Structure 1
């Protein structure tokens, strides 16, 4: 009788990145920190944190460094991810640091299942991991939870020593149509464990949710 094995994608449809690697996102955390987990919040989010208001959703929060930084500033933060190993680490960090941040399992392509709304949504390194079709689905998912401003930090295709899945400027704006306003796209840097302290070329996008006519 064949041995039963656990579904590595926990019933989800694997993302393009997972199909490419043949591994679920959780595997990135099995042998030490993930490539993007350099041990602190992204400097870009630290600098921009003063802009964030109200309730905050960290989509694809990983081990929680960005969410925990925002919680330390007094913001009410929910971090979501599909990687259970990362979420356990995030909860342990929150408890150790005495910070009130919530971390739950959720698929960023189905955020409507949260049944919650947020004034601010932050995305650090999630958008660039999706292919073009998934990005359209992701934006639809964001529409179910975002009431204010979305901030995206993703790898850019402009500059040297780019990260994996670099994004063209026009590819960043393409999924955001009716109901969104791209306020600004600034050149930034993303810290990783495989770049020096200057990081990799990045975009930092500020995208506002337009009020509904309903």
Structure 2
């Protein structure tokens, strides 16, 4: 799309949608059609066809917390609501951030959330959470597998942390795409993006990038079936 001048800007994730709605701008990692966004954040946006497929948030936990988490682990999935009732396990999350629609409800209503560490600040938030776990101040935090993979590749400390999927997300998956400000410029940009996506999404390089970062180990068959049946089936 050489007809556009592309610029990247780093912002704090809780402010992403208010920023793009204040100018002609886009966000490349929005939930498809805004499905996980509250109505007030979804309003004023226009969305592309899906550009990536992912599995929802889980727990990124220090390995020393494995025995504490084990009682809440069933068939490879953590019962997150039950875990929140255990005040001896310290978890963290970011208020105001968009998680899955299931977790958004838990963070808004569950009394156990009061025991969790809340963080806010600059764009290096996730790296700070790993440091808090290393220092013993935190047992886990809630985020995507992608963040664990990035940290391990950049820091070279594989084996220090575990990723636990959640029962609350059993059988669920997410589609993501590009969100732009709903203006004439934004709507034209989304139309131009959608016009090239059918070709781009089938490129080996595009598929490899998605799987490298967003496909957890052992889920290749499920990931590519969903890619074919769910992602490629949507053109707008």
- The alignment's TM-score, normalised by the length of structure 1, stands at 0.34
Please identify which structure carries the higher strand content.
Answer: 1
The higher-RCO structure (CA 8 Å, 6+ apart) is: 2
- The alignment's TM-score, normalised by the length of structure 2, stands at 0.32
Bigger CA radius of gyration: 2
Please identify which structure carries the higher helix content.
Answer: 2
